[in-house]
Amino acid sequence: MTEPASQIPDPLARYSRQTLFPYIGREGQQRLAASRALVVGCGALGSVIANTLARAGVGHLRIVDRDFLELHNLQRQVLFDEQDVAAGLPKAVAAAAKLRAINSTIEVEPVVADLTHDNVLALVDAVDVIVDGTDNFETRFLLNDAACKTRTPWIYGGAIGAEGQVRVILPGETACLRCMMEDAPPPGTTATCDTAGILGPTIGVVASLESMEAIKLLAGRRDAVNRALVMIDLWSNTTRQIKLDALRDSGGCPTCRGKEFLWLSGERGGQPVVLCGRNAVQISPPTGERISLEALAERLASAGRVTRNSYLLRLHVDSFVLTVFADGRAIISGTDDPSAAKTLYSRYIGA
C-alpha cells in the first residue's frame, strides 16, 4: 500500500533551521545534497570541516588523510575521542565512522593515502569544491596546480598559534596560490606548531570560515563568496581582509596564466615531509606499490616490538616508532631529521 504523500517524511526536515536561512532555502539545500566535496587532511582543520559539511548535508564527502591518531591530537581535532586513539585507526577511517553516525543520509568516502602528483587528479575528479585541511605548503601547491588545471574551486586555510588565514581560489576568476607566493617557503623560515604552538579556538574559527565558503559554493551562492584573503589574530583581536585581484590582473602568474604545473608534473615536491608538531617525518617510496603488512610484520619480528591492524603496522625500535601503511609510506616518529628518517626507513623497510 502506498503511503499518503502527506505522511512521507521530508528528507530535508533535519536541515530545517538551515533551510530557514533565506540564502539557502530548500533549493540551496537540495544543491548541497547533490554536491561532492573533497576534504584534504582530516586533522585539526579537516576534522572540523568534515564534521560541519556532513551536518550541513553535503551529499558526498571524500576525505583524504595520510596519518593516524595520537593522544595529543584530541586537544584540537574535535571529531575524535580516546577510543579512536586506542584503536590505532587512520584518521580518515575513524572520521568516516563518526560522520556516518552523525548523518546516515550522505556518502562518506575515506581515502588513507598521501596526496601526490600521481593520485591528485583522480581524487579531485568529479568534486565540486576542494577544502584545505593540510599543514604544509607542498600539498597546497599541488592542490593549486590540480585545481587550476581542472578549474575546480578550492579553499585555502592555515592556522598557527592564535593566527589564521582563509582564501577562496576560483580558477579563471581570482588570483591563485602561486599568484600570492612564487614557491613554498624554505624549511625553517616560517613558524610551525613546534615553534609557535596552536590553540584550539584558532582551528575552530579558520575551519568554520572555510566551511562557510564551501557551503556558499555548493548551495549555488557563488555571488556571496568572499574573494579577499582573510587574516585573523584571535589573541590581539584583529581581522584584516586583503584584496588580491591585482595579482592576477598583472598577468604574470606561471600557473593560472601560463598553465605551468610544476607540482602536478612531479618536478617539485616528493621530498620527506617533517610533520608539524610531531617530531616525526613522513617517507614516501617512489613507486607507491602496496605491500603486505602481514609479511612485513613477520620480517620485522626480530627487529623490535611489532603491532598491526588492517590499515597499518608499527615497529617500536630503540627510541623510534615506524608506522608503515599498505601503500609503503612510513611515518618515522622520534626524529625531525629527514636524513635520519630515510636511514631508518631503508634499514627496516627497504631502500
107 shares its domain with 190: yes
**Within-domain flag for 256:** no
Reading the block at residue 34, the C-alpha cell is: 547533490
Q: Cell 604545473 belongs to which residue?
A: 261
Q: Which domain holds residue 104?
A: 5-249
Q: What is the CATH number of the domain that holds 294?
A: 3.30.310.10
At 140, is the secondary structure helix, strand, or coil?
helix
**217 and 303 housed in the same domain:** no
The reported pTM is: 0.83
Q: Is 77 exposed, middle or buried (0-12, 13-18, 19+ CB in 10 A)?
A: buried
Residues 323 and 297: beta-carbon distance below 8 Å? no
Residues 6+ apart with CB under 8 A from 276: 135, 136, 192, 193, 194
Residue 82's pLDDT band (cuts 50, 70, 90): very high
Q: What is the pLDDT of residues 283-297, one digit of tens each?
A: 887 656 678 899 889
In a domain, residue 255? The reply is: no
CB-based contacts of 328, cutoff 8 Å, min separation 6: 284, 285, 287, 288, 289, 290, 291, 349
Statement to judge: residues 231 and 302 lie in one domain: no
87 & 11 share domain: yes
Question: Tens digits of per-residue pLDDT, 267-316?
Answer: 887 677 888 778 899 988 765 667 889 988 988 888 899 999 989 999 99
**Residue 264 CB coordination number (10 Å):** 23
How many domains are contained in the chain?
2
Same structural domain, 19 and 110: yes
Of all residues in the chain, what percent carry a pLDDT higher than 70?
92
187 with 294, same domain?
A: no
Residues 57 and 92 both lie in one domain: yes
pLDDT in tens, 177-212: 999 888 877 544 566 665 578 899 999 999 999 999
